[in-house]
Structure 1
Amino acid sequence: MPNITFHTKHIFSALLLFLVFGIQAFSKDIKQCDLLIQNGIDAMWEKDHVKSLELLTEARTLAEKNHWYKQLFLATNNIGANYYNLLDYGEALNYYLESYTIAVKHLEPKYEMIVLNNIAILYSKKKDFEKANEYFKKAYDIAVENKDEVKIGLYAMNLGNVANETNNLKKARDYFNESLPLLKSNPQFEILAKMAIAENDLLQKNYNQAQVTAETLLKTTKDLNYHDIGISLLMILSKSNFEQNNLDLASDYAQKIFARKPNLETKVAVFKLLSDINQKKMHFDLALQFKDSIIKAERELNEINNGRAFENNRVKFEIENYKKEIALNEAQLSNERKIFYSVLAIIIIVVFFVILTLRNLSVKHKQKKLIAERNEQIISLELEKKKSDNLLLEKMISEKETASLLEHEKLKNEIEQKNRKLSAKALYLSGRNELIEETLQSLSKLPEISNNNLLTNHIQTLKSHLKTDAEWDSFITHFEEVNQTFLNNLKTKHPKLNANDIRFITYIYMNLSTKEISSMLNITAEACRKRKERIANRMELSSEIPLYDYLSTL
């Protein structure tokens, strides 16, 4: 009996040491997970997205395995932020929705607010303002429920911006008036709210008030680069002066925007504004130059988007490889643990076998029972191995499915990019023809035009720039390459359509306005409308079904 007590004390001591070391290991693991997340966030701000995604993926795997929901939320949410910065909004939305589920099930309301705001911003970027309003409103309601004044003000401002975008100006003003006093503790947010109010005044045609507010903020704001505040204020000033026919001043403000190094999307908006200003000033040559600048900027933007799409796919491919390496490391670690446990079990069995030879029958009976329990543990380990193998197989299947989805997304992106190029070319032809026609109309009103050979030659030159059949042939060739299925279905279902009908339908399918189509075909808007009705009748469509909606179904 003394020997049994002695061994029992040793067993309890060993268990106590195991418990202490286990707690230390747990604490070390969770700190390591937090460090991975922080390093991943730092890499994201440094725009090293591959490294950031690798670190955050490793942290996410560790957190998911140990059910650390806060760390799992932070890792998942910041993976979504990486894809947002890479302009891969679809992938970003998937991770944001996953982090939202984690926040709702396991975390405090403040985490739910964070991801709801991220989702709403994402929908705003995609111009889906209905969804953006829905998620901003959810975040706002949670902030109100938790009496978080700064967050209430911030989300109210975001709701006001969405209302501005959807031209619900009175509702937008109510949100801004609510947010402004709540954001006084945060000067940067307060400036954004005041700027949003100026934008609201501009939309409500209170041009003087919008101009005064923008000029004041431009003079008093210290950091004009924060959220491109300087660019937004100059744009408000330019637009307000344009609407008041202060065209020279509007042009000066628009030109100042270029000094602040705007992105290509902003450049396109500025070029369009300058084109409108010069067209209003009857400076048609400059207006044409700025329209050409729009086309050039949009082409550069498409090239950048193509590069980003390639970069996104490359990042996803590398992350998938990294996940595969993690899975292999986990499998190797699991095998090592199994070997360790097997060796440990063998040692224990041998020790107990020696004890069995030295003790009486009662002790032998107890030792046999212990051996049986150890055998059950071995069987459990084998079952765990089979489970691990099944999980590995599932991961391999998941990786193949992901590769297929990537290929599908790549093809989809290529089609969208080609359609954007076609739309840009069509709109360019429309704008060019419209401007040339307006110029010809202005010149034709001059009484001395018939006696001036120089003006007559200029008019003939302008007429030569109108769209030709050769340009249409080039356009339809590119359209057929991108939308072959649509044209085949159209010709099959409606064989009575001639080439001119198909040409007209192509422009409608690209969602061009009646004004743009009439300009490209060099006909009046009324003739364009009647032609649309004749084609609908020839296709035997009901008058209740819009032609564009029907074409979309093909």
Structure 2
Amino acid sequence: MNSLGKHILKNNLTKGFYITTLFVLLMFGSLSAQESKEQSVNKLEQYSDSDAQVLENEYTASLKKADTLAAILTLQKLALLYGHQARHKKSYNKLWQALLLADASKMKMLKAFIYRDIGRHYSYYKRKTKALKFLNSSLDLKKELVQNKEIKDEELANAYLAFVATYRELNDLKSAKVYLDSSAVFLKNSTQLRDKTFYSFEYGVILNSEGNYEKALKAFRDCLNWFSKNLPSYRVLINTYVGDVYKNKQEYAKSENSYLEALELSKSYNVHKDFTPLIYERLSDLYLLKGNKDKAFASLKRAKELDYLYFDSRSATNRPLLEIQDEFLEEKNRQITANKEQRLQQLEQEEQVLFLERMLLFVAVVGLILFINNIRSKHKAEKKILRKKREFEIEKNKEVLELKNKELATSVIKLIEKDAFIDQLKEKLSNGKGDINRQEAKQIINSIAVNNLDNWSEFETRFVAINKKFYTKLTKKFPDLTANDQRLCALIKLNFSSKEIAKLLNMSKESVHTTRSRLRKKLKISRDVNLKNFIASI
């Protein structure tokens, strides 16, 4: 177990494995069902003083090896041993020591079990407030572990059963039943046979209090087999409560035999000695019912003697109990005070470091802001210069383009005028008047026609050169346009009227209108859209 504890603590195994291992270890040596009755007796219940010394040596060795887990588990075994023997001074002492180690080591599952055991010890002394405080601390820790998915929710059943046992011992069976119902919720799908067996026992006690005597006896019989094999000392309690059932059924002989057997079991196993005063009280009541006053008096006297021995704080056995508790509280207070002072110093150092970090961060942020603002200012200035330069270039290009288009338009106008003059000349020559013969006139007309085509080609070349972007966009957006369509678009862009276009393209004005309508269709624009503005926007 020592090596296992080191392995868990030093190598940081997964929480699931840790909790599983821990739970198995906390069962304190439960034996398999295949073992014989003699072999199945719980070893802790057979420990003598020499055996306790062996555990004390194991505890000391665990501390030397820094095996905290093994040390805590050994302390719990010692507490259980001394508790069974009603040596509560030593039992309390071991539990407080275990709690300090578990608290320092942040072992929440172990703390939950220790809180439970301390709460149960307080209940033996009828200190209800203290008992419930520790039991609730145990329950809260287990709920936290369940919420963090470190243990299954079925582990809560054990915590609720501790409340049931406490309220049973405080004779508050109504509250005990409430917590028993809570444990049943978590035992419904549980695989924990141990908890189910304890549930059956507590259920038998409740049934007896409600007058369901046969069901109570059945519940006790159902759990007797498991206790006989795994925790035979608990038969002390089973026989006691079976005796209560028989007494209620007025089967006094069976009741007396059950009580006496419980006392014999306590003596033979050297366990549950602190429970024997209650058994003698029950015997005293039973003997009164049977009319045997001498035995009733003797039993009551014995109950008072044992109660003083095991529970009175004035007895030599229990006088140091309060001192032990004070030592624990003082140790905890010393730890808390030391931790506070250490934490205060740490906070002061952290505050100084934090102040320096904040100052450095402030300087860095201010410097970064100034640097960013400087870059932004430069960037804005550069953008402003680039924007103005771009605007100037665009404006300049626009002016140049307009100037060239004006020059081009002027040349076209002159071309129109020349064409008009040539048309008149062609008309005269066609009539064959003057000194020029008809054959020479035809040659001149053909030459003029060729010259007109050349003039138009020259115009188109110049227009494309000047309005290169316009032609590129026009071709890209409307690839199906013919050369004549592109020529018409160019003339419309230069703001020529239909009459001027008709002269340039040597067609009638009506034909120009027809051509413009066809162009609209190819450009996919309705008659509501101004053709000139549309072409200018390209």
* TM-score, length of structure 1 as denominator length: 0.40
More relative contact order in 1 or in 2 (CA 8 Å, sep 6+)? 2
